[in-house]
Chain A
């Protein structure tokens, strides 16, 4: 059994799975139940001057019969008195000394930051997460992502915090920015111990077409919200990986964004996250998913022969490259398994209308002689290996992308340009 214990920027927890700051970590009761279900840590719902929230608050993107592919919220920070929150944090830490409890904080003035940090320290929380990510409601008040989008301001704020406390400090970053490395380096310069990302993405979840009001509807209006859930995972993975491979960036990263399963978590770890935080999946399925997260990751690490989570951290980063360094001699071709094909021909229409016109119906001339009716065939010399057919095929494993290299040596665009065998970036060439 792999050892799942985690040390993130000096904060220890039984495993790398933390509740992200949000509705599941809103109260002591919830956090304690989460720990009982197996969660290793929790970042408390952001503390600040309590606000009044709106109703309704959430919007969902459903895909087919799958609910909550993406979730958007216009809920703000805690709406409960700070004294109650801190009392509960103390209580949780007393009862669960080995679990990590992080206070997420968002206030405005330096005096408020100092006051808040003092109260966090008094509560015996294990660390601070500075919410520089919230992209709705709070940013209009000069907080949250308004800070995360201004690296200089972020750096100054982190510096205030670092002067005030000895607790581990995590800067939570917003993805609503062109270059994620800028605020991350600003946090590093100011002395933060770690960063966490991504916070939610600015979004409008949809429009009520009967009323012609955006969603979620509050009376006869709405506002943009923060997007999260499985749909944002690819965006989060890219940002985590981008930062993890950045030269001279040395802070640990807490990966956040659409993590629902142990596979998702493993992917974040493989691309450089030291631990992960989960919110939407818990909102959807409850704290009980921790059991599979732990069990699945543990089994995976065992299978990979990794004794600790750290063995996985960053393991896929060397393979995350610039496009120009990819091997142009790598080539895959679609192969359709005629035994398992059900004849829906979705691959044909996808290939013909959306790809490279190389998958044909069984009745078309050139088909293999013994091809069963409605089983499509691939004109392999025309197949570019795009994968689209395999993705639209409803039968798992029916279309396989088989590697057929075009040359023994690795050939990249960058080497071709360097050798004068290809045009330079931005240049026009007819060859």
Chain B
């Protein structure tokens, strides 16, 4: 993004020394790639994008040298296009549907071109804004869903306030994306871009602790809940607690945000899990120079929920899979991790059948994240599914409380950034429709009155 971040990244972060997975395109390569696009009629890449970016149009604008127009086309469909360009699994979304694939040719590198347009031309001035309406919407969390929702609402003329418990905004985009995909600074720059659309942000505010749901409902006409997911799920096995064992999300957060954090000298690292977070962690460990990285997964290779392209890359980078196995105990000596005791699994469940112990000195647990079940209780009428996700209409994203909307990982259980953006933006349009059909604005000055009063 062309905007400089409002937020300062913590100093001496391990991430800042790491290489990017995909180098950005230079102008010449971007032009050649853009010109390769066939500019299909009713192009299949458009519906394959959850936010339905008009891909052929933005690429054509790169080809004609209209970079501003290209960025505008992209942002009109997706306000978080800069991070989506970096973290989207394009291999299974837009690029997979490119007609070149069916023609046995490499698809257009849509993600890279999108990043190119964003890097060179994205600016808050590109987007049309409605005059202020006086309506106000509060948003819980400042991750992709809330950012996209708030940005959209702000452009539509409504006052928006993000409430974020973390000191750094951006959600997993800031703290949870493997460094080889996106650097924290790039996420913070995108947050700055959203704030420049007129969005207010309050960090260090946790609903249910520093502020109640009722207070938010009093302050704003509508509330959008987009807090994402909770902490890493635990294995609940002996030896798990202590140095040398980390949840994947927590560990990536340390790489990205903790001043002075370095990986201790690790010879053998084990990642538990078979999803994309597990693959991210495994690949990142390899990139950090760990000589042996193992992936322990309780089912077979075919059952892994991580993307095939990510797993293939991980394999190529030397990650070894131990499938149909589950950890029984973290073996320690004087507190230090020595290895993992493994059980053979059947249908994903551990059996009594023990496998040989796996010597290792670092374990990353990537078996999912907990749900923020407590948050729903702050808002009367908001219900949870059996899995702990917030129940909301899949079209309007309204919850059981007509004043409260929800989207992103907290609603869908954990999908891609682009899905969170899509849900946030669609919720924003539903909220806007409600506001415009409702009566008097509850002006944004309510909170000020309260403070003054």
**Residues in chain A within 8 A of chain B (CB atoms):** 64-65, 342-346, 348-349, 361, 374, 394-395
Contacts and interface: CB of A to CB of B under 8 A. Distances in A.
Interface in B28-65: 31-32, 35-36, 38-44, 63
Contacts of A343: 40, 44, 99, 102
**Closest 4 pairs (CB-CB, A-B):** A349-B41, A345-B41, A344-B40, A342-B99
20 contacts: A64-B35, A64-B63, A65-B31, A65-B35, A65-B36, A342-B100, A342-B103, A343-B40, A343-B44, A343-B102, A344-B38, A344-B40, A344-B43, A346-B38, A346-B39, A348-B41, A348-B42, A374-B44, A394-B38, A395-B103
Contacts, number: 33
B35 A342 contact: no
Contacts of A346: 38-41
Interface in B72-111: 99-100, 102-103
Interface in B100-124: 100, 102-103
Does more than half of chain A's interface fall in helix, strand or loop, or is it mixed? loop
Contacts of B44: 343, 374
A394 B35 CA distance: 13
B32 A344 contact: no
Contacts of B43: 344
Nearest to B65: A209
Nearest to A350: B41
Contacts of B31: 65
Nearest to A66: B35
Contacts of A345: 40-42
Nearest to A347: B41
B40 A65 contact: no
Contacts of B42: 345, 348, 361
Contacts of A344: 38, 40-41, 43, 99
A344 B44 CA distance: 8
A65 B35 CA distance: 7
A269 B207 CA distance: 84
Contacts of B35: 64-65
B37 to A, nearest CB: 10
Contacts of A361: 42
A330 B63 CA distance: 40
Nearest to B56: A344
Nearest to A353: B41
Given A344-B38, A345-B42, A395-B103, 18 more contacts: A64-B35, A64-B63, A65-B31, A65-B35, A65-B36, A342-B100, A342-B103, A343-B44, A343-B102, A344-B40, A344-B41, A344-B99, A346-B38, A346-B39, A346-B40, A349-B41, A361-B42, A394-B38
For A64, A342, A344, A348, the residue with the greatest tally of chain B CB atoms inside 10 Å of its CB is A344
A344 B45 CA distance: 11
Contacts of B41: 344-346, 348-349
A374 B41 CA distance: 10
A348 B42 CA distance: 10
Nearest to A348: B41
B265 to A, nearest CB: 49
Contacts of B99: 342-344
